[in-house]
Every structure is written in C-alpha cells, then in structure tokens.
Amino acid sequence: MATYDINDPTDLDILRGHFNMVTADEWDEYIELAEERKIGYKNVKILKTAQRKAGIAKYLSPKVLSWVMSLVDRLDEEDDEEE
C-alpha cells in the first residue's frame, strides 16, 4: 500500500475511496482470514468495525481508516504469497 498522509485532504479522500470500495462480504472474508492467521484481537475487532461501516468511511477517523487499510494490504500480501 502506498503511504498516505492522513493530514493531507487529497490522501484522505483517496484512502476513503479505497475503503468504500470494499463490500461487507469482502470484510467478512478479511475477518475470517485475520482470525485464521491470529493477527491479534484488536486487529480483528477493528476489521469488524470496518465491516459495520462498509461503504461509509466518513464515520471513521483518518487514523482508523489508515489502520484498517494497512491490515487489508497486509492480509492481501500474505494471501498472494501463499498462492
């Protein structure tokens, strides 16, 4: 994932756009993957929060958006390595 500056309005809009493209079903898959890999309780919990807010990034703080999207990238990268 590209590094986004959460204090830059343009970067924040891009981050929100990426978040809004992930559907609730896709979040469910990420949650299952995270639980299988045992990436930690807090990380799984924030993914569940993201699932509840799927498509409405405006209700999440920039810090949470950045955290969630970095977890998504991490899970995607690990998934690609396994294949």
Map out the domains of the chain as residue ranges.
9-82
Cβ pair 50, 59 in contact under 8 A:
no
pLDDT digits over 18-71, tens only? 999 999 999 999 999 999 999 999 999 999 999 999 999 999 999 999 999 999
Structure tokens at 8: 């830059």
Interatomic CA distance for residues 66 and 5, integer angstroms = 9
Report the predicted TM-score, pTM, of the whole model to 2 decimal places: 0.87
